[in-house]
Chain A
Amino acid sequence: MTVIATESLTKRYPRVTALDRLTVDIAPGVTGLVGANGAGKSTLIKILLGLAPATEGRAAVLGMDVATEGAAIRAHVGYMPEHDCLPPDVSATEFVVHMARISGLPPSAARERTADTLRHVGLYEERYRPMGGYSTGMKQRVKLAQALVHDPRLVLLDEPTNGLDPVGRDDMLELIRRVHTEFGISVLVTSHLLGELERTSDHIVVIDGGSLLRSSSTSDFTQATASLTVEVTEHEDELVEKLTAAGLNAHADGRLIMVDIDGDETYDAVRDAVAELGTGLVRMEQHRHRIAEIFRGGDEHDAA
C-alpha cells in the first residue's frame, strides 16, 4: 500500500524545470523528503495537493488522482507550510477552529478537536492569547495543529524545523514522530538537512534538481553514511594506522580523522587508541550529514 505514488512527474516553469520525471512510491509511516533549497520539494507538495497541474506524468495521493480529485485529497491531507501563516491578532484557538471549519468540520466538532489537537502539540494556557506574541516554537506548533485538526490520513510538513533552536528542533522532531506512532497519521516531512530526518523518518527520499537521487529506508542510510569526526592534538597518522589495524575504515581529512561508525564499539576503539598514543583528544563527534555527502556517495548507491 502506498500513500503517495508519482510516475515520471514533471513540472516545467518558463525558465526552470522544477521536477524532472520523478517516479517514487511512498509507503505509510514517516518519510523524509530531503533536498537543497530549490530542489523541487515545495513544487512537489503543491502538485500533491492538487494546486498546481503537472506538466507531464501522474501522481496519486491516498489512491486519488491529483489532477482530478484535488478537493477530495485536500479534505484528507493536512498541510503545514514552510512560511509563516498565522494572523497575529487572533488567538490560536480561534484560528485553529476556523481552519477546522474550512476543512468541513461542524462547529462543535471543530471546537472539540481544536482543544484536543492544541493539547497534543503542547499548547496550553497560551492558546487563548493573540498569536503575535508567540515564540517561533509555539507558532510552529500552531501550524502543525492546524494541519492535524481535521484528522487527516496524511500530513505534508514543509520544513517544520525552520527557524527553531536546537531544543525546539528536537521537540518538533519528537512531535512529528508521535504524529505517526501515536496518532497513526502518515507524514511526509521535508528538510534540507539529512541529519535531522534520520532520527525521525522510516524512509528517506532525496531529490536534487527535481529528480530522484535516492530512495531507501533510514537504516540503509545511516549504515552507509554514519561517521565519526575525531580531532587530536598530535600523532594523527599513527592514530589512523592504529584504527585501520583495529579493522575500522579511517582516513585523515586535513587535521581531522574520519572514522566510519560500525556500532558502539567504534567509540571504544577510538578512545583506546587515543589513550595508547597518549595524545590529546580535542573532539569526537558524530558527523552531521549534509546533502553534499549524498552527491559524493551517489555513484556507489545507485538511485532507484
Chain B
Amino acid sequence: MTQLEGRPPAADVIHDIGYRHYDGPRLGRGYARKSLYVQSLRSAYGLGRSAKSKVLPMILLAVMCGPAAIMVAVAIGTKATKLPIEYTQYVIIMQAVIGLYLAAQAPQSVSLDLRFKTTPLYFSRPIEAVDYVASKFAALTTALFILTGTPLLVMYIGALLAKFDVSDQSAGFAKAMLAALLLSMLFSGIGLVIAALTPRRGFGVAAVIAVFTLSYGAVTSVQGVASINGNADVIGWLGLFSPITLIDGAQTWWLGATSSFPEGAGPKDAVVGTVYLLVLLAVIAGSFGLLMRRYRKAVLS
C-alpha cells in the first residue's frame, strides 16, 4: 500500500519534488514530552508567538529585576556591607508582580489549548494525559522560576561585585533559590488547576487574580486582627491559608528567613513548621492530581 501509483500531477500545482516518505527515527513519548515542555516554556515568554504575546511577560520580568538592579547599584555605590533586604524577602515583597505573571500565563498555557481545541489534537499523538500535565506543569514552574530567580541572581552577582562576605551571600542566595523553586511549583500548580477549568482566558485571568489576592487579603486582615489582640500563635497558623503566606511561613521555619507576618510571627514551633511544609507539598501534589483528573476526561471528550 505504500507504493505510489503513477498519475500525472494536476496542471495547476507545481511539483518540483514528489512526496517523500520518512524513514528516520520516531522518538517516543519522552521526546514528545520534552518538546511540549520547551514549546510551553517558550510561549510563557511569548517566544514563537506574536509580538503582542511577548509584551506582558517581558515587562513583568523587567519589573521583577528592576528593584534588584537598583539595590545592587546603591549597595555598590554607597559601600554598604550588605544588601538592604534579604534574598528570601525579595519574592514576598514582589508577590503582586508574580501573581500578575501567573494570572496572565497560566490561562495562556492551558485555557487557549482548550479554547482552540488543540488539546484533542495532542491526544491524537502518542502522548497521554500524564505527559501533557507534566509538561505544562514543569514549563510554567520553570517560567516562574526564571521570573523569581533572575532578580535573585542579579542581587547575588551584585553582592559578589560589591565584595560582600561570600559564604554569607551564597547561603542566603541558595536558600532563597530553593524557596523560589517551591513558590514556582506551588503557584503554577494552583494557577493551572484554575486555568484548566475554563476555555475562556479572561475568566482564567480573573479567577487566578481573585484566588491569590482574596486569600492573601483575608489572611493578612485576620492576622492584623490577631496582632491587635496580641495572639502571635494564631498569626502563625493563619499563614497556611494563602499561597504566598504559606511560602513565607515555610521559609521562615525551614530556611531561617525573616517572616513578613505581622510582628514577624512565623510558625511558633516545629509542629507548625512541619505542618507548613506538609501543606505546601500536599497542595503541589494535589494540584497535579486534579490536573490529571481533568485531562484524563479531556482525552475521552
- Residue B24 is within 8 A (CB to CB) of chain A in the complex: yes
- Render B101-138 as a binary contact track against A, CB cut-off 8 A, 1 for contact: 00000000000110011101111111110000000000
Q: Number of residues in A with C-beta < 8 Å to the partner? A: 48
Q: Does A150 contact B22, Cβ atoms closer than 8 Å?
A: yes
A90 to B17, CA, bound (A): 27
**B170 CB → nearest A CB, Å:** 37
- Residue B79 is within 8 A (CB to CB) of chain A in the complex: no
Interface CB pairs A-B, < 8 A, 7: A1-B1, A51-B123, A85-B116, A90-B49, A102-B32, A184-B5, A184-B19
- Residue B77 is within 8 A (CB to CB) of chain A in the complex: no
A247 to B56, CA, bound (A): 76
In chain A, positions 41-81 with a C-beta closer than 8 Å to chain B are: 46, 49, 51-52, 71-72, 74-75, 79, 81
Chain A residues contacting B39 (CB-CB under 8 Å) are 98, 101
User: B46's closest neighbor in chain A, by CB?
Assistant: A89
Q: Number of residues in B with C-beta < 8 Å to the partner? A: 47
User: B2's closest neighbor in chain A, by CB?
Assistant: A184
A28 to B3, CA, bound (A): 11
Chain A residues contacting B3 (CB-CB under 8 Å) are 184
Chain A residues contacting B53 (CB-CB under 8 Å) are 89
Main secondary structure of the interface of B (DSSP, over half): loop
From B25, B113, B120, B126, contact of A71 by CB (8 A): B126
Q: Does A103 contact B13, Cβ atoms closer than 8 Å?
A: no
- Residue A268 is within 8 A (CB to CB) of chain B in the complex: no
Q: Does A104 contact B32, Cβ atoms closer than 8 Å?
A: yes
In chain A, positions 13-60 with a C-beta closer than 8 Å to chain B are: 28-29, 46, 49, 51-52
**A32 CB → nearest B CB, Å:** 17
Q: Does B26 contact A74, Cβ atoms closer than 8 Å?
A: no
- Residue A195 is within 8 A (CB to CB) of chain B in the complex: no
- Render B1-21 as a binary contact track against A, CB cut-off 8 A, 1 for contact: 111110101100100011111
Q: Does A103 contact B26, Cβ atoms closer than 8 Å?
A: yes
A6 to B7, CA, bound (A): 32
Q: Does A81 contact B21, Cβ atoms closer than 8 Å?
A: no
Chain A residues contacting B9 (CB-CB under 8 Å) are 182
- Render B33-52 as a binary contact track against A, CB cut-off 8 A, 1 for contact: 00110010000000011101
**A143 CB → nearest B CB, Å:** 9
Q: Does B22 contact A105, Cβ atoms closer than 8 Å?
A: yes
A120 to B10, CA, bound (A): 12
In chain A, positions 112-129 with a C-beta closer than 8 Å to chain B are: 113, 116, 120, 122
Q: Does A94 contact B48, Cβ atoms closer than 8 Å?
A: yes
Chain A residues contacting B13 (CB-CB under 8 Å) are 122
**B135 CB → nearest A CB, Å:** 10
- Render A159-175 as a binary contact track against B, CB cut-off 8 A, 1 for contact: 00000000000000010
Q: Does A51 contact B300, Cβ atoms closer than 8 Å?
A: yes
User: B39's closest neighbor in chain A, by CB?
Assistant: A98
A182-B9, A184-B3 known; A89 vs B50 contact (CB < 8 Å): yes
Query: Which 7 pairs between the two chains have the least Cβ-Cβ distance?
Result: A28-B1, A151-B22, A101-B35, A79-B124, A104-B26, A183-B19, A89-B50
Q: Does B124 contact A51, Cβ atoms closer than 8 Å?
A: yes
Q: Does B118 contact A87, Cβ atoms closer than 8 Å?
A: yes
Residues of B within 8 A of A (CB): 1-5, 7, 9-10, 13, 17-22, 24-29, 31-32, 35-36, 39, 48-50, 52-53, 112-113, 116-118, 120-128, 299-300
From A28, A49, A75, contact of B26 by CB (8 A): A75
- Render A173-214 as a binary contact track against B, CB cut-off 8 A, 1 for contact: 010001001111010000000000000000000000000000
A224 to B7, CA, bound (A): 28
From A75, A102, A106, A120, contact of B24 by CB (8 A): A106
A130 to B49, CA, bound (A): 8
A103-B32, A104-B126 known; A109 vs B7 contact (CB < 8 Å): no
A81-B117, A104-B32 known; A49 vs B124 contact (CB < 8 Å): yes
Q: Does B125 contact A99, Cβ atoms closer than 8 Å?
A: yes
Q: Does A87 contact B116, Cβ atoms closer than 8 Å?
A: yes
Q: Does B118 contact A85, Cβ atoms closer than 8 Å?
A: yes
Q: Does A85 contact B120, Cβ atoms closer than 8 Å?
A: yes
Chain A residues contacting B124 (CB-CB under 8 Å) are 49, 51, 74, 79, 81
From B22, B24, B117, contact of A85 by CB (8 A): B117
Chain A residues contacting B48 (CB-CB under 8 Å) are 90, 94
- Residue A111 is within 8 A (CB to CB) of chain B in the complex: no
From B1, B116, B123, B126, contact of A153 by CB (8 A): B1
Q: Does A109 contact B35, Cβ atoms closer than 8 Å?
A: no
Chain B residues contacting A75 (CB-CB under 8 Å) are 26, 125-126
Chain A residues contacting B36 (CB-CB under 8 Å) are 102
- Residue A84 is within 8 A (CB to CB) of chain B in the complex: yes
A46 to B19, CA, bound (A): 28
Contacts A84-B116, A102-B122, A183-B4 known; list 15 others, CB within 8 Å: A49-B124, A74-B125, A83-B120, A85-B116, A86-B118, A88-B116, A89-B53, A102-B35, A103-B26, A104-B28, A106-B27, A150-B26, A153-B2, A178-B10, A184-B21
